[in-house]
Amino acid sequence: QVHLVQSGAEVKKPGSSVKVSCKASGGTFSSYSMSWVRQAPGQGLEWVGRIIPMFGLANYAQKFQGRVTITADESTSTAYMELSSLRFEDTAVYYCARGESGHEFSFHYWGQGTLVTVSS
Amino acid sequence: DIQMTQSPSSLSASVGDRVTITCQASHDIRNSLNWYQQKPGKAPNLLIYDAFNLATGVPSRFSGSGSGTDFNFTISSLQPEDFATYYCQQYQNLPPGFGPGTKVDIK
């Protein structure tokens, strides 16, 4: 059974950066796409981007292009999402999520979420 | 990007009711559609994938149908633990996009 554990809550100033981690256990890390999805308070779900650790290949939603970097460390089975130039509207819970073989965007597994608060 | 809409945005129902939520895509997404349930303070939970396949461990009172641009999600007999928000999600094209959600609460 796949288990995703994320880093703890963060409070950041506008204009700064945040880096959230997601450690996977149970199953093969490298060959599965890991996505990041965020949810602003009281709002819906928004896909941020994903990485395929085996290839180091990342794709990002156009909205976040230039501000987000998703990386993965195969040696520790950990994915990272770094968001820079933070704005108040980036306040959200950020989830890592993973699918199954052949269903990389059907998110069977989710981390517990990391609340990122942008506040002056 | 493919736009997803859901209706209704919210509904009130009683235990035992049959509930149906619709989801529409702005372009043909074949059967590349998932349904999730989310409860307050929790991560979403995948219920249906590929439009009609039940995810592992999901009760059979949940079902999905449709293809192309129009999809339905049905709870055949609403249970107390089903009061939650439901999201559809397309994955035919990047970026995978979610509908705005349907909140199901107690009448």
Mean pLDDT of A68-75: 97
Burial of A26 (C-beta count, 10 Å sphere; 0-12/13-18/19+): exposed
Does the distance separating the beta carbons of B36 and A107 come in below 8 Å? yes
CB crowding A48-73: b at 16 or more within 10 Å, else e: bbbbbbeeeebebbeebeebbbbebe
- Give the Cα separation of B35 and A75 in Å (integer): 33
Calpha distance A92→A70 (Å, rounded): 17
Q: Strand B4-7 vs strand B19-25: parallel, antiparallel, or unpaired?
A: antiparallel
Cα A16 versus chain centre, distance: 17
Q: What is the pLDDT of residue A101?
A: 85
Return mean pLDDT, chain B. Answer: 97
Cα gap A76→B99, rounded to integer Å:
34
Query: Model confidence over A74-116: pLDDT tens digits?
Result: 999 999 999 999 999 999 999 999 999 889 999 999 999 999 9
User: Which are the contacts of B19, defined by CB distance < 8 A and separation ≥ 6?
Assistant: B11, B13, B74, B75, B78, B82, B104
Quick check: B44 contacting A, CB < 8 Å? yes
Task: List pLDDT tens digits, range A30-62.
Answer: 989 999 999 999 999 999 999 999 999 999 999
Residue B60 has pLDDT above 90, yes or no: yes
Chain B closest CA to A17's CA: distance in Å? 23
Pairing label, strands A46-52, B97-98 = unpaired
Answer whether A107 sits within 8 Å of B46, measured CB to CB: yes
Q: How far apart are CA B23 and CA B35, in angstroms?
A: 10
Predicted local distance difference test score (pLDDT) of residue A27: 83
Residue contact B98–A59, C-beta within 8 A: no
